[in-house]
C-alpha cells in the first residue's frame, strides 16, 4: 500500500500535475473514473471540510473531468494522480503553462502529503495539541520564540550528546569507536564543555533573541491549525540540510585555506579524535560563518515556529552524530540518501584535508575532495583482508 502510494506520489511529482494559479494550486487533474469511488468521495469530503470547491468541471463525452484546487499547505493529498498533459491543456491551458521550479517543488510537497495520507494517524496528536495549546495560552510569542528556542537548543544538544558520552564507560561499545587509539579524556571534555557554554550563551543566545523578530517579519505562524504535518517537516528539514550542506562545504573549505586556517578553524580541529560535545566547539567567528548556513534554509522553507525547532533538532542530531567518534550499527540516520556519517567526518578531523561537507557526500564526490578518504578506506579494507 505504501509502495503504491509512493509510486503514485512519484508520478505526480514527475508529471508536474500540480500548477499554481495565484495562491491556489491544482492538486489533482483527472476524472471520476480515474480516482475510483473512494478517491472521488475523498475529494468531495475535502471540498466540504476546507471550503475549496473544485471549480473547474467539464464533461468530455461520458467522462466528467475536473481540476481540484486547494491553497498552499492546506492542499489535500491527491486521491489518485493522473498525468494527462494534453487533456489538462485542453481543459485549462494555463495549468500547463505555469511549469517551472516552483511547480516541481510544490508537486514534491504534495507528493509527500500523499504519502502522509496513506499512513496511520499519530496517536500522540491529542496530547501534543493540548501541550501546544497550553504553551500558547500561557506565554507570549516573544517568550515562546526566545526562551522556547533556547530550551529546545540546550536540551536537545546535551540529550543527543549523552549516548556518546556514556559509550566511553561501556567496554562493549569500544569496538565501535572509530579512532580506538585516541580515547576521550576528562581534560578534553571539560575544556570543550566550558567553550560550549561560552558559545551557547555569549554568541548563540543573542542570535536566538532575534527569532521572535524573524517570525514577525516573515509572518511565521505559531497556532496549532497551521502546524505542518510530520512528513512536511521531514521534507523541509531535508531541503534545509541540502542548503546548509552546500554552504558548509564551500565555507568550510575556505576556512581551511592555509592563510586563514590558524585564525579561525584551527579551534574546531583542536581534537583530532572528535566526540559528540565537540560538534559546536569552534571559534566564535566560525559559529557565525558556518552557522549562517543554518539560517539560509529557514528563509526558504520555514512555515511554522515548530519547524524552526524541528530543524534545530535535525541539525543537532546530525552534527552530534558525525562528531560522536562512534560508528554504531543500525544507525537510522544512514537511511538518509548520501548521508556522510561519523566515519566520514572523523576522517576529516584525523586527516585535516578532504571530506569538507557536513551532512551529505555529494559535494566531496563531485569535487574529488574525498579521494584521500577513499584511499584510506581501501587501505583499511586491505589490512582487514590480510
Ligand atoms: Zn575542518
Ligand atoms: Zn568537525
Res 245: pLDDT: 97
- Look at 90 and 380; give whichever has higher pLDDT: 380
Quick count: other Cβ atoms within 10 Å of Cβ 276? 26
- Lowest mean pLDDT segment, chosen from 26-35, 72-81, 216-225, 291-300: 72-81
Among 94, 118, 142, give the residue marking a domain's end.
118
Residue 125 domain-assigned?
no
114 and 196: one domain? no
Output the CA 353–ligand 1 centroid distance in Å. 8
106 and 222: one domain? no
Output the CA 8–ligand 2 centroid distance in Å. 40
By C-alpha distance, which of 378, 213, 175 is closest to 295? 213
169 and 306: one domain? yes
Res 242: pLDDT: 96
Ligand number nearest CA of 354 is 1
Residue 145 domain-assigned?
yes
Q: Is pLDDT above 60 for 12?
A: no
Q: Is pLDDT above 90 for 283?
A: yes
260 and 367: one domain? yes
148 and 112: one domain? no
Output the CA 350–ligand 1 centroid distance in Å. 10
Ligand number nearest CA of 281 is 2
Structure confidence by residue, pLDDT tens digits, 233-248? 999 999 999 999 999 9
Output the CA 348–ligand 1 centroid distance in Å. 6
Output the CA 371–ligand 1 centroid distance in Å. 16
Output the CA 352–ligand 2 centroid distance in Å. 10
85 and 189: one domain? no
Query: Is the CB of residue 357 less than 8 Å from the CB of residue 364?
Result: yes
Res 98: pLDDT: 42
Res 18: pLDDT: 37
138 and 276: one domain? yes
194 and 47: one domain? no
382 by DSSP, 3-state: which?
Answer: helix
Burial annotation 165-175 (CB, 10 A radius, 16+ → b, else e): eebbeeeeeee
Number of domains in the chain: 2
Mean pLDDT, rounded, for 160-170: 93
Among 50, 85, 118, give the residue marking a domain's end.
118
Q: Is pLDDT above 60 for 186?
A: yes
Q: Are strands 24-31 and 63-71 parallel, antiparallel or unpaired?
A: antiparallel
Helix axes 305-323, 342-351, angle to 10 degrees: 60
146 and 109: one domain? no
57 by DSSP, 3-state: which?
Answer: strand
Residue 249 domain-assigned?
yes
Output the CA 256–ligand 1 centroid distance in Å. 6
Instruction: Tell me the H-state helices in 256-304.
Output: 284-301
Residue 316 domain-assigned?
yes
Structure confidence by residue, pLDDT tens digits, 78-109? 443 443 444 444 434 334 344 455 566 666 66
105 and 174: one domain? no
Ligand number nearest CA of 351 is 1
- CA–CA gap between residue 312 and residue 306 (Å, rounded): 10
Among 62, 95, 118, give the residue marking a domain's end.
118
Q: Is pLDDT above 80 for 260?
A: yes
Residue 281 domain-assigned?
yes
Structure confidence by residue, pLDDT tens digits, 310-346? 999 999 999 999 999 999 999 999 999 999 999 999 9
Structure confidence by residue, pLDDT tens digits, 187-236? 999 999 999 999 999 999 999 999 999 999 999 999 999 998 888 899 99
Res 256: pLDDT: 96
Res 45: pLDDT: 52
Ligand number nearest CA of 323 is 2
Q: Cell triple for residue 347?
A: 576522517
Q: How many CA atoms lie within 13 A of 323 on its CB side?
A: 26
Q: What is the dihedral of CA 43, 44, 47, 53, to 10 degrees?
A: 100
Edge to edge, the sheet with strand 19-21 lists: 19-21, 24-31, 63-71, 56-60
Res 118: pLDDT: 72
CA angle 308, 312, 315 (to 5 degrees): 135
Output the CA 269–ligand 1 centroid distance in Å. 6
Res 384: pLDDT: 64
Quick count: other Cβ atoms within 10 Å of Cβ 379? 10
For the whole model, what pTM was predicted?
0.71
Res 9: pLDDT: 42
Output the CA 151–ligand 2 centroid distance in Å. 24
78 and 200: one domain? no
Range of the domain at 142: 133-385
Res 221: pLDDT: 95
Q: What percent of the chain lies above the pLDDT cut of 70?
A: 69
Ligand number nearest CA of 352 is 1
Ligand number nearest CA of 251 is 1
Mean pLDDT of the chain, nearest integer: 79
Output the CA 10–ligand 1 centroid distance in Å. 37
Output the CA 349–ligand 2 centroid distance in Å. 6
Output the CA 332–ligand 1 centroid distance in Å. 25
Per-state percent for the chain, helix, strand, coil, to nearest 5: 65, 10, 25
Residue 127 domain-assigned?
no
209 and 276: one domain? yes
Cβ-proximal residues to 217 (8 Å cutoff; 6+ apart), any chain: none
Output the CA 267–ligand 1 centroid distance in Å. 9
Output the CA 253–ligand 1 centroid distance in Å. 7
Res 21: pLDDT: 39
Residue 184 domain-assigned?
yes
Amino acid at each position: 500500500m505504501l509502495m503504491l502510494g509512493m509510486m503514485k506520489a512519484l508520478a505526480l511529482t514527475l508529471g508536474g500535475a500540480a500548477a499554481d494559479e495565484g495562491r491556489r494550486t491544482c492538486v489533482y487533474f483527472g476524472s471520476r473514473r480515474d480516482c475510483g469511488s473512494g478517491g472521488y468521495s475523498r475529494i468531495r469530503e475535502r471540498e466540504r471540510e476546507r471550503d475549496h470547491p473544485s471549480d473547474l468541471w467539464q464533461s468530455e463525452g461520458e467522462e466528467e473531468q475536473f481540476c481540484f484546487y486547494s491553497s498552499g499547505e492546506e492542499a489535500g493529498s491527491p486521491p489518485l494522480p493522473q498525468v494527462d498533459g494534453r487533456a489538462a491543456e485542453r481543459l485549462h491551458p494555463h495549468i500547463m503553462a505555469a511549469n517551472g521550479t516552483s511547480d516541481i517543488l510544490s508537486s514534491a510537497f504534495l507528493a509527500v502529503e500523499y504519502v502522509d495520507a496513506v499512513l496511520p494517524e499519530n496517536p500522540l496528536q491529542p496530547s501534543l495539541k493540548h501541550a501546544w495549546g497550553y504553551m500558547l495560552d500561557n506565554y507570549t510569542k516573544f517568550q515562546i520564540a526566545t526562551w522556547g528556542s533556547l530550551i529546545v537548543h540546550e536540551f536537545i544538544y546535551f540529550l543527543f550528546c549523552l549516548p556518546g558520552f556514556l559509550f566511553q564507560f561501556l567496554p562493549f561499545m569500544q569496538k565501535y569507536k572509530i579512532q580506538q587509539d585516541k580515547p576521550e579524556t576528562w581534560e578534553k571534555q571539560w575544556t570543550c564543555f566550558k567553550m560550549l557554554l561560552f558559545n551557547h550563551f555569549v554568541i548563540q543566545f543573542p542570535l536566538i533573541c532575534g527569532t521572535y523578530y524573524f517570525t514577525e517579519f516573515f509572518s511565521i505562524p505559531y497556532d496549532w491549525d497551521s502546524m505542518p504535518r510530520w512528513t512536511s517537516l521531514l521534507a523541509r528539514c531535508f531541503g534545509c540540510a541540502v542548503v546548509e550542506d552546500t554552504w558548509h562545504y564551500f565555507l568550510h573549505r575556505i576556512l581551511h585555506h592555509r592563510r586563514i586556517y590558524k585564525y579561525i578553524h584551527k579551534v574546531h580541529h583542536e581534537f583530532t579524535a572528535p566526540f559528540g560535545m565537540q560538534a559546536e566547539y569552534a571559534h566564535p567567528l566560525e559559529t557565525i560563518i558556518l552557522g549562517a548556513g543554518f539560517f539560509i534554509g529557514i528563509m526558504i522553507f520555514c512555515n511554522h515556529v515548530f519547524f524552526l525547532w524541528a530543524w534545530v533538532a535535525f541539525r543537532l542530531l546530525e552534527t552530534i552524530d558525525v562528531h560522536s567518534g562512534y560508528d554504531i550499527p543500525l544507525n537510522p540516520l544512514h537511511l538518509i540518501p548520501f548521508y556522510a556519517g561519523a566515519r566520514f567526518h572523523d576522517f576529516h578531523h584525523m586527516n585535516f584535508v578532504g571530506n569538507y561537507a557536513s551532512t551529505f557526500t555529494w559535494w566531496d564526490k563531485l569535487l574529488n575532495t574525498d579521494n584521500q578518504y577513499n584511499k584510506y578506506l581501501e587501505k583499511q579494507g586491505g589490512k582487514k583482508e590480510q
